[in-house]
Amino acid sequence: MSPWILFASVAASVAQPPTVAPPATSAPASSPKIDPAALAAADRLLTAMDYDGMMKRACDAMVEKMAPMLKSSLEQKTGQHVDDALIDRITGVEGQFLRQVLLNRPDIRRASAVIYATHFTPAELDHLAQLYRDPVMRKWSIVGPEAAAELMPLIQGLAESHRAELEEKVKAAVLEYYSQKAERPDS
């Protein structure tokens, strides 16, 4: 197999993160001011839930589950067998990239705290932190990311099995939209 064809296929298969601004570390001017007490409580929650460890486990679980999907995708696109060693190398790069982008990032942790602080009161956040100290919730914070990653292939397979149906519905919606728009030129 040509390395260039494989490279093009890999480049097309690797999920590209959307281009976005750096995570917000404070509320936008148009949104309500973040309560400093809620922000402090959100930080306590992140500590109680082992935020950094959970992010690492989530990254590792995602990369582990991506390998079979990546291999299948590349083999479908190229029509050729792809070696497991190559898949290991690619997912190693992806895993290192994810960990570099997401782990040990105070800006992302703060952005997460801001999000929680906008949705919960300080008392609710402290209650959640207390719940995370429960042994079952501690287990959930360890197992949850891996369980979510295990769902990825199931969800992807289900979505793929219904892709043609969805494409037809989208096509019908687009045609209906333009048909109605043609009937009302002012819209």
Q: Residue type at 146?
A: E
pTM: 0.60
Looking at residue 6, its pLDDT comes to 43
pLDDT > 80? residue 171: yes
The chain-wide mean pLDDT, for the chain, equals 82
Average pLDDT over residues 132-147: 88
**Helical H segments across the chain, by residue range:** 3-13, 36-48, 51-78, 84-102, 106-119, 122-132, 135-161, 163-183
In b/e form, how buried is each residue of 135-160, taking b as 16+ CB within 10 angstroms? eebeebbeebbeeebeebeeeeeeee
Q: Which two tokens stand for residue 114?
A: 């801001």
Looking at residue 54, its pLDDT comes to 86
pLDDT > 70? residue 14: no
Q: What pLDDT digit, counting tens, does each position of 28-64 carry? A: 445 568 999 999 999 999 999 999 988 888 888 888 8
Average pLDDT over residues 80-92: 92
pLDDT band at 151 (very low <50, low <70, confident <90, very high): confident
pLDDT > 90? residue 152: no
Looking at residue 130, its pLDDT comes to 96
Range from 16-30, 97-111, 122-136, 173-187 that averages highest in pLDDT: 122-136
Residue ranges covered by each domain of the chain? 34-161
